[in-house]
Amino acid sequence: MGSVYEDKIKMFYDEHMHEDEEIRYILKGAGYFDVRDVQDQWIRIEVEEGDLLILPPGIYHRFTVNQNNYINAMRLFRTEPKWTALNRGEDTDANKLREEYLKLRPQGFPDQMS
C-alpha cells in the first residue's frame, strides 16, 4: 500500500495519549485499539463497522488494523479539534491530564456526555 500508509500505521501503533477524548466511529473495516489496564498491561479492543469508541483524555493507547489491513474510521470532537498525539515518556507521564486520568480511573469516570 505504499510507504505513506506504512508510516501512518506505525505512527498509530506507537503508544501515546491525547489531551482530549479520542472518539472514533468505525465506518468500514476493522482493527484493534490497545489500552492499558490498572496493572499497565494491554487490553485489546476489537472495533468494526458501526462501532463507536470513546477513550478518555490521558489514557495510553495504540491502534493497529486487523489481518484485512483496512479500516475507515471517523474521528469526532466535542470541542475544537486537536490531533496531537503525545508519545509515552517521562514528560507525558507528568502531563496534567494524564495525572487526572490516573486519579479518576479507580473510581470510574463521570458522564461527560451530559
Q: Which of 26, 21, 28, 18 is nearest to 45 (CA)?
A: 26
The grid cell for 113 is 456526555
pLDDT computed for residue 102 by the predictor? 93
Q: Which of 69, 73, 85, 87 is nearest to 6 (CA)?
A: 69
Per-residue pLDDT of the chain (114 residues; tens, 9 = 90+): 677 767 777 778 899 999 999 999 999 999 999 999 888 899 999 999 999 999 999 999 999 999 999 999 999 998 888 889 999 999 999 999 999 999 988 766 666 544
Enumerate the H helices of 1-114 as residue ranges. Answer: 3-13, 90-93, 96-104
pLDDT computed for residue 109 by the predictor? 62
- Answer for the pair 79, 20: CB distance below 8 angstroms, yes or no: yes
Distance CA(102)–CA(76), nearest Å, equals: 24
pLDDT computed for residue 114 by the predictor? 45
pLDDT computed for residue 5 by the predictor? 67
Distance CA(11)–CA(72), nearest Å, equals: 16
Which distant-in-sequence residues (6+ apart) come within 8 Å of 104 by Cβ? 56, 110
